[in-house]
């Protein structure tokens, strides 16, 4: 990944992005053979790394954003480093698990998968997951989806479009696939909180940078009409798409 899309809004990213379900980490624990070292790539605020630190002796977590790393969750067995996904400083055949949460679509995947093959032990696991948009109810979803997929369309990087249109269906993994279940992240947000979540989007940041105006101003009125009482917390759903594979022995 050659670009850093999330430094500017790193505090919003840390506070308002969804928390992945515990069942996802239970699934990881069931799949891995050894629990020595995990590499969490494009770790962001360290959400996944923090959970992996409860499963593995050591977690190596990398990201391009210094601001994201400054906001990251600190644990004694997590080492944070600013590194490219495609060229880490990890040793050959040293890692039991590689995870990528909501980011593999930003990478040079050919180079990244070569790097995974280099650092991953035989029988090691590569697990990637993401989400493309959220669901609340029909009226609110209509407003948010129009803003996301139409209003901001030209401001999204191609990697983001690939994420929410293809949902990793055509993502070719480097090793044989393992069956993985569907996971859903959930939260209860007020209207302000869902707007803060949207402010963390790279498409919103690209619009603001190019036009000098926060595009969320255009969605505030129709969103409030659909939401009702803006202080009312509503349940938000993020359906995760994922792929998991194991390196042959």
**Topology at the third CATH level for domain 10-246:** Rossmann fold (3.40.50)
Give the SS3 label for residue 186.
strand
Check residue 93 and give left, alpha or beta (phi > 0: left; psi -120 to 50: alpha). left
Contact 43, 72 (CB under 8 A): yes
Structure-block tokens of residue 53: 């630190």
CA distance linking residue 164 with residue 133, whole number of Å: 7
> 46 phi and psi, to 5 degrees?
80, 20
CA distance linking residue 249 with residue 246, whole number of Å: 9
CA distance linking residue 96 with residue 38, whole number of Å: 6
Contact 175, 144 (CB under 8 A): no
**Pairing relation of β-strands 37-41 and 58-63?**
parallel
CA distance linking residue 101 with residue 99, whole number of Å: 6
Contact 168, 242 (CB under 8 A): yes
CA distance linking residue 161 with residue 102, whole number of Å: 12
Domain residue spans of the chain: 10-246
pLDDT reported for residue 18: 87
Would you give per-residue pLDDT tens digits along the chain (249 residues)?
444 434 445 465 567 678 999 999 999 999 999 999 999 999 998 999 999 999 999 999 999 988 889 889 999 999 999 999 999 999 999 999 999 999 999 999 999 999 999 999 999 999 999 998 899 999 999 999 999 999 999 999 888 888 989 999 999 999 999 999 999 999 999 999 999 999 989 899 999 999 999 999 999 999 999 999 999 999 999 999 999 999 999
Structure-block tokens of residue 2: 């050659």
């Amino acid at each position: 990944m050659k670009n850093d899309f999330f430094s500017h809004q790193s505090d919003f990213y840390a506070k308002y992005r969804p928390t992945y379900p515990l069942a996802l980490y239970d699934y990881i624990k069931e799949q891995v053979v050894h629990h020595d070292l995990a590499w969490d790539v494009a770790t962001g605020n360290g959400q996944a790394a923090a959970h992996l630190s409860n499963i593995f002796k050591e977690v190596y977590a990398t990201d391009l954003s210094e601001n994201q790393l400054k906001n990251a969750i600190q644990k004694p067995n997590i080492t944070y480093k600013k590194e490219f996904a495609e060229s880490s400083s990890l040793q050959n055949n040293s890692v039991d698990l590689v995870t990528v949460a909501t980011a593999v679509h930003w990478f040079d995947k050919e180079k990244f998968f070569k790097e995974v093959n280099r650092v991953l032990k035989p029988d090691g696991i590569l697990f990637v997951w993401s989400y493309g948009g959220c669901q609340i109810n029909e009226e609110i979803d209509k407003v948010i989806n129009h803003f996301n997929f139409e209003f901001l369309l030209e401001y999204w990087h191609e990697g983001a479009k690939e994420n929410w249109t293809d949902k990793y269906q055509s993502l070719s993994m480097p090793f044989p696939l393992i069956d993985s279940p569907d996971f859903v992240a959930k939260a209860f947000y007020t209207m302000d909180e869902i707007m803060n979540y949207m402010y963390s989007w790279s498409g919103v940041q690209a619009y603001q940078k190019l036009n000098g105006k926060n595009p969320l101003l255009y969605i505030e009125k129709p969103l409030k009409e659909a939401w009702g009482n803006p202080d009312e917390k509503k349940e938000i759903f993020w359906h995760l798409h994922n792929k998991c594979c194991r390196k042959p022995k």
